[in-house]
C-alpha cells in the first residue's frame, strides 16, 4: 500500500484502473501521433497537441492538391473562446479560414476525458514501445482491447474486432507529456485567416475516435 501511495504522489499509478485514471489527470499537456490501421481501409496518421483549452491537430496527407500531391490539413482550436482556424499545408495563407462558435464547441475527446474504469477489466499485461501496459477489455465494446500505460493511463494501442469480421488497430506513437509549449497550440502570427463564421454556420469539433 505504501508503494502504491508513493507512485500516485509522484505522478504515476499503482496499475489499477482507478490509479491510472487518476494519474492521467496530473498531466498539464501532451502530444502524440495516432496511427489508424483498418483491415479494409487506408492507413492514416493524425498528430495532436493539447495544452489547457487549446489544441493543434494535423491530418497528415488528408488533402489532395491540384498538383496531384497530398497535403496536410491543419487546425488550431481554442475551446475557451470558441475559435477554430483551418488551413492546408500547401498554401497556409491562401487557405486559412476562421470559425467562431457562439456555443463554444467542446474539446474533442482525448485520453484525459475518456475514462476506463467502470465496466472495464484488466485481463493481462504487456510492454509496448518501452511502456509497461495493462491490457484492458472495454466495458463499452467487448470486442475492443486497450493497452494502457501503467505510469499515466495513456492508451498505447487499441484493437477492435468487428462482429462481421475484420477490425482496426490504433497505435499511439511519439508520445510526449508536459512538453507542449504555448507556441505549439497558438495560431501563427503571420497567418491571416478569413472569418467565414457567418457563411459556414456553427463550427463543430473535428471527427475522430475517442481514445
> What pLDDT was estimated at residue 200?
55
Q: What nine digits make up the cell of 106?
A: 467542446
* φ/ψ of residue 138, rounded to 5: -70, 135
Query: Is residue 96 over pLDDT 80?
Result: yes
Question: Tell me: the pLDDT tens digits for 137-164?
Answer: 988 888 899 999 999 888 999 999 988 8
H/E stretch holding 63: strand 54-64
Banded pLDDT at 115 (limits 50, 70, 90): low
> What pLDDT was estimated at residue 3?
29
The answer to whether the beta carbons of residues 202 and 103 sit under 8 Å apart is yes
Name beta bridge partners: 146. Answer: 136, 158
Burial status of residue 194 (CB atoms within 10 A of its CB: 0-12, 13-18, 19 or more): exposed
Q: What nine digits make up the cell of 200?
A: 459556414
Whether the model clears a pTM of 0.75, i.e. scores above it, the answer is: yes
* Euclidean distance between CA atoms 42 and 202, whole angstroms: 30
CB atoms within 10 A of CB 129: 14
Domain limits, the chain: 2-27+116-177, 29-109+196-200
Amino acid at each position: 500500500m505504501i508503494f502504491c501511495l508513493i507512485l500516485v504522489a509522484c505522478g504515476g499509478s499503482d496499475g489499477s484502473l482507478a490509479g491510472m485514471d487518476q494519474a492521467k489527470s496530473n498531466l498539464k499537456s501532451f502530444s502524440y501521433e495516432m496511427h489508424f490501421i483498418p483491415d479494409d481501409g487506408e492507413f492514416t496518421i493524425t498528430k495532436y497537441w493539447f495544452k489547457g483549452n487549446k489544441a493543434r491537430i494535423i491530418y497528415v496527407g488528408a488533402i489532395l492538391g491540384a498538383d496531384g500531391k497530398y497535403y496536410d490539413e491543419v487546425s488550431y482550436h481554442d475551446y475557451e473562446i470558441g475559435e477554430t482556424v483551418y488551413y492546408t499545408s500547401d498554401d497556409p495563407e491562401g487557405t486559412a479560414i476562421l470559425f467562431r462558435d457562439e456555443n463554444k464547441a467542446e474539446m474533442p475527446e482525448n485520453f484525459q476525458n475518456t475514462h476506463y474504469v467502470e465496466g472495464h477489466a484488466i485481463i493481462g499485461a504487456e510492454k509496448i514501445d518501452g511502456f509497461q501496459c495493462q491490457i484492458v477489455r472495454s466495458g463499452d465494446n467487448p470486442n475492443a482491447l486497450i493497452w494502457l500505460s501503467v505510469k499515466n493511463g495513456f492508451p498505447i494501442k487499441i484493437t477492435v474486432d468487428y462482429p462481421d469480421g475484420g477490425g482496426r488497430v490504433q497505435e499511439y506513437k511519439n508520445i510526449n507529456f508536459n512538453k507542449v509549449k504555448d507556441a505549439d497550440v497558438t495560431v501563427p502570427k503571420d497567418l491571416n485567416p478569413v472569418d467565414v463564421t457567418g457563411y459556414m454556420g456553427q463550427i463543430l469539433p473535428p471527427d475522430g475516435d475517442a481514445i
